[in-house]
Amino acid sequence: MDSLKAKTYDDRIKVGITHGDINGIGYEVIIKALEDIRMLELFTPIIYGHSRVASFHKKNVNAGEFNFNLVKDASQANPKRVNIINCTEQDLKIDLGTSTAIAGEAALLALDMAMSDLKSGLIDVLVTAPINKQNIQSDEFGFPGHTEYLSSHFNNQEPLMLMVWNKLRVGTVTGHIPLAAVPSRISVELIRKKIQILNQSLMKDFGVGKPKIAVLGLNPHAGDGGLLGQDENDILTPAIEKSRKEDDILVYGPFPADGFFGASVWKKYDAVLAMYHDQGLAPFKCLAFDGGVNFTAGLPIVRTSPAHGTAYEIAGKNEASEEPFRQAIYLAIDVIRNRRLQEELLSNPLKIGNLQNT
């Protein structure tokens, strides 16, 4: 990516990486993505995981020349190496392609340690390998996914799950909830809030000056004038109008989801807001192929993840593509740089004028 330039070792961005489910493809895509030594010119990687588990997966993908640098904590990270922190000294049993309690516990240990370091400034951004949302459940983790877990660390601040692939950006009003619960969760206030978060993220995180946002309808054919449901008339349209008139946001819709993606209307907008998980993610994953990234917008920290799961069915077969994970790293770096630039411009108004005159 053109925006990623090598920096000095002292100011290089520190990317924290959680290993996710040890029985999935997490380590495989991490190793494959970081095996290219040119990646180390862009950032300092710090993996929160387990060195012996990492060594097992390294052999599994035949990465003979690849090595980890074991450190006790993030402050010891070597900018010239791929660093790894042992989140536990206990041996971890690996059962490739299987959901186990041990894997869930190991995933949570890594996530908790990385989150602590992220909040304290020892790492700059967080990139998470996929977890299993069932085996990670415990007294400490009662969330349906990463997004909700991250929100809990910031006073349950409203987050937005945003899927990103090049210029395609798809957010969702509701997240990991049953489809039957979606209509009761949809409200004018919630939709308006999500539009605000999306608009702010597009400007702050992606550098879009005056974003254009499309909103999808809840019902087939966006309600067809009320024939197929009143949600569009009673909730979605009022939310869109309030966002446009009172918040000064360029937002349009509601659009029927099928024709919107089928006719490539999404290309006219900077982002799309879907009402529920599969409405947005199903077409996104069809279009994004191997490069989709999940970005948690609306929070003070930067977290990305590849837009795929643990992929148990191919775990250990050396078949997983590392491209989504690589793109997740690139996006995290781009976002933190955009945020820092915004902060610098706000603190130095004269620089804005200089940039406008160049």
pLDDT tens for 248-298 read 999 999 999 999 998 999 999 999 999 999 999 999 999 997 789 999 999
Instruction: Specify whether the CB–CB gap between 28 and 57 falls below 8 A.
Output: yes
Domain ranges of the chain: 9-157+299-358, 159-291
Tokens representing 38?
């040119």
Ranges 8-17, 181-190, 342-351, most confident: 181-190
Distance CA 78, CA 2 (A): 25
Name the CA radius of gyration of the chain, rounded: 21
Number of other CB atoms surrounding residue 156 within 10 Å:
9
Residue range 117-158, pLDDT digits in tens: 999 999 999 999 999 999 999 998 999 889 999 999 998 899
Where are the extended beta strands (E) located within the chain? 14-18, 44-49, 68-71, 82-86, 125-128, 160-165, 168-172, 212-216, 250-255, 271-274, 293-297, 303-306
Distance CA 269, CA 221 (A): 19
What residues pair up with 215 in beta bridges, in sequence order? 273
What residues pair up with 247 in beta bridges, in sequence order? none
| The pLDDT of residue 14 is above 90 | yes
Work out whether strand 293-297 and strand 303-306 pair parallel, antiparallel, or are unpaired.
antiparallel
| The pLDDT of residue 5 is above 50 | no
CATH of domain 9-157+299-358: 3.40.718.10
**Angle in degrees, CA 128, 159, 162, rounded to 5:** 65
- Domains 9-157+299-358 and 159-291 equal at CATH topology level: yes
- Which one-letter DSSP state was computed for residue 13? P
**Angle in degrees, CA 185, 246, 267, rounded to 5:** 70
CATH of domain 159-291: 3.40.718.10
- Which one-letter DSSP state was computed for residue 123? S
- Which one-letter DSSP state was computed for residue 159? P
- Is residue 254 reached through a cis peptide bond, with omega within 30 degrees of 0 on the bond before it? yes
| The pLDDT of residue 1 is above 50 | no
Closest to 114 in 3D by CA, of 292, 303, 306: 303
Distance CA 102, CA 282 (A): 31
